[in-house]
């Protein structure tokens, strides 16, 4: 299994490229006997209090006074200058009389990336606990799908994680095909891979743009959405829809790619690496990005695996687990690509891993379009796939199959299966249990956003509230998939 460790880059803001983590890191360089405010402004404590000659304190103190009063004032100033607030910050977590404030962050808050409510316990600006409250976007999609024929449930399933609709559909149709023991044509498998990787890039672009928007950078948001629009145009060209395309069908894909689509795709593959280079030039050594992301939200691989976390979050901690390599599906074993992994498991590694994944997706798409096989784009089993329209006028058998599929759907042999795939946020999986009818008896989706959200509290505990915003963005949660 090939791995790639993205280059973390040099941090011009920290000695040796590292900056201590925790709420007190901003006080680490302060000279002894000074406060953070004093270090940043360069003024002495006496100056800030107006104790300099002619200052406010001096004006109050001037007048008849004996030497003992002057000595008392000097001792008072010396005591003020000796105060070290950094020690208080370090000890605040263990104080019994700590004053805690619990606030609601969300569900109507742009930085929660959806209708997510975070019950946040603060001590000053330090986060002591976070409890995610979900359910505001619950739609009952899984139960709705159980009341539909197998082939009619695809549009419903696609709307769970609304940034990864191809992945939702792939997990579902893959599970049904496994129950049917249906062989998917090679051309259809390659077309699926192309659309899946385009969807992965699109999802990561939305993540990158909105994350940097949370950090205060709006330009990168527009740049990312510029490339996203190009991908959505490709989706519309091949399927007729920009989002929730219903392009993946049981047995293959809905249509072959139209003329001119390949040329537009190849133009995108030439342009996208250049755009990623531009993003790196803007962000990789940006002082604000480095200070906001490096050594923040650290969680080691053992803890992440205990929480069931998958995807870029796990790979950023150094675990090269990717289902496209570990359990290949849809001919992923035919392509060469690397698995980007991190070294520290902080927010900066999560940023590096996702941007590197976009480059690997470009490589996979390039190989798939270069080696796209000839042949059918959907199974020729007329009991599963709709017959071509031109056959309906000449074949009674085709007309019967069409009528039965549209009115009743196809029947799936009794059994149950779980079909996992690697999505932009981790492991998407679909569990389907069949009772032999034309509708699933039970359908359940494993959405990585739901599982990964568990790791938010240990990631941000004893961090600043501002670090909570950055870390939540790095989780890349999609509430449609969490609530379903």
Do residues 395 and 403 touch, judged by C-beta distance below 8 A?
A: no
What is the pLDDT averaged over residues 142-160? 90
Report the pLDDT value the prediction gives residue 49, as an integer from 0 to 100: 29
What is the pLDDT averaged over residues 48-53? 33
Q: Among 47-61, 82-96, 110-124, 128-142, which stretch is predicted with the lowest mean pLDDT?
A: 47-61
What is the pLDDT averaged over residues 374-391? 85
pLDDT digits (tens, 9 = 90+) for 341-353: 999 999 999 999 9
Quick check: 97 pLDDT over 80? no
| β-bridge partners, 423 | 426
Band (40; pLDDT cuts 50, 70, 90): very low
What is the pLDDT averaged over residues 458-466? 91
Quick check: 91 pLDDT over 80? no
User: What is the DSSP-derived secondary structure letter of residue 407?
Assistant: H
Cα distance between residue 467 and residue 23, in whole Å: 10
All structural domains of the chain with their residue ranges: 23-93, 146-475
Task: Residues 146-475: name the CATH superfamily.
Answer: Cytochrome-c3 Hydrogenase, chain B (1.10.645.10)
Tell me which residue of 226, 230, 247, 229 sits closest to 238, measured CA to CA: 247
pTM for this model (two decimals):
0.79
Cα distance between residue 462 and residue 465, in whole Å: 9
Report the pLDDT value the prediction gives residue 27, as an integer from 0 to 100: 37
pLDDT digits (tens, 9 = 90+) for 152-166: 899 999 888 889 999
Q: Among 146-160, 246-260, 270-284, 380-394, which stretch is predicted with the lowest mean pLDDT?
A: 380-394
Report the pLDDT value the prediction gives residue 73, as an integer from 0 to 100: 66
Report the pLDDT value the prediction gives residue 77, as an integer from 0 to 100: 63
The Cβ of residue 394 has, within 10 Å, a number of other Cβ atoms equal to 8
Helix, coil or strand: residue 106: coil
Report the pLDDT value the prediction gives residue 111, as an integer from 0 to 100: 73
Report the pLDDT value the prediction gives residue 5, as an integer from 0 to 100: 67
Quick check: 205 pLDDT over 70? yes
| β-bridge partners, 26 | none
Quick check: 21 pLDDT over 80? no
Radius of gyration in angstroms for the set of CA atoms belonging to the chain, rounded to a whole number: 29
Quick check: 50 pLDDT over 60? no
What is the pLDDT averaged over residues 235-247? 89
Higher pLDDT residue, 32 or 45?
A: 32
Tell me which residue of 179, 140, 172, 147 sits closest to 158, measured CA to CA: 172
Cα distance between residue 230 and residue 266, in whole Å: 12
């Amino acid at each position: 299994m090939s791995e790639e460790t993205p280059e973390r880059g040099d941090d011009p803001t920290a000695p040796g490229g590292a900056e201590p983590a925790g709420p007190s890191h901003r006080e680490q360089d302060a000279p002894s006997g000074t406060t953070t405010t004093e270090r940043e402004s360069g003024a002495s404590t006496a100056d800030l209090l107006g104790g300099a000659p002619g200052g406010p304190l001096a004006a109050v103190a001037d007048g008849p006074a004996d030497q003992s009063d002057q000595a008392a004032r000097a001792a008072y100033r010396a005591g003020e200058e000796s105060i070290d607030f950094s020690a208080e910050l370090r000890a605040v977590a263990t104080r019994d009389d700590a004053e805690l404030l619990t606030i609601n962050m969300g569900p109507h808050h742009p930085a929660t990336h959806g209708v997510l409510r975070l019950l946040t316990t603060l001590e000053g600006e330090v986060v002591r606990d976070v409890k995610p409250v979900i359910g505001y976007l619950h739609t009952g999609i899984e139960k709705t799908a159980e009341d539909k024929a197998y082939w009619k449930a695809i549009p419903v399933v696609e709307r769970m994680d609304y940034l990864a609709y191809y992945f939702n559909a792939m997990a579902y149709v893959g599970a049904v095909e496994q129950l049917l023991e249906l062989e998917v044509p090679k051309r259809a498998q390659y077309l699926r891979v192309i659309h899946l990787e385009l969807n992965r890039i699109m999802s990561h672009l939305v993540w990158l743009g909105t994350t940097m928007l949370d950090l205060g950078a709006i330009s990168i948001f527009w740049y990312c959405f510029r490339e996203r629009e190009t991908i959505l145009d490709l989706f519309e060209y091949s399927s007729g829809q920009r989002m929730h395309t219903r392009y993946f069908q049981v047995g293959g894909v809905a249509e072959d790619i139209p003329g001119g689509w390949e040329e537009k795709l190849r133009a995108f593959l030439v342009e996208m690496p250049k755009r990623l280079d531009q993003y790196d030039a803007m962000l990789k050594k940006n002082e604000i990005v480095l200070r906001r992301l490096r050594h923040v939200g650290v969680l080691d691989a053992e803890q992440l695996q205990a929480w069931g976390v998958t995807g870029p979050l796990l790979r950023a901690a150094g675990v090269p687990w990717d289902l496209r390599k570990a359990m290949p599906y849809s001919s992923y074993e035919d392509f060469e690509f690397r698995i980007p992994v991190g070294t520290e498991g902080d927010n900066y590694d999560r940023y590096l891993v996702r941007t590197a994944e976009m480059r690997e997706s470009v490589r996979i798409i390039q190989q798939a379009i270069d080696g796209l096989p000839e042949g059918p784009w959907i199974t020729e089993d007329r009991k599963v796939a709709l017959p071509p329209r031109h056959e309906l006028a000449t074949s009674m058998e085709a007309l019967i199959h069409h009528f039965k599929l549209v009115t009743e759907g196809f029947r799936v042999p009794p059994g149950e299966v779980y079909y996992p795939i690697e999505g932009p946020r981790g492991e998407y999986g679909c569990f389907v249990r069949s009772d032999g009818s034309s509708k699933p008896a039970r359908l359940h989706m494993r959405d990585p956003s739901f599982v990964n959200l568990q790791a938010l509290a240990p990631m941000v505990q004893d961090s600043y509230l501002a670090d909570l915003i950055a870390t939540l963005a790095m989780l890349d949660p999609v509430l449609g998939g969490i609530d379903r």
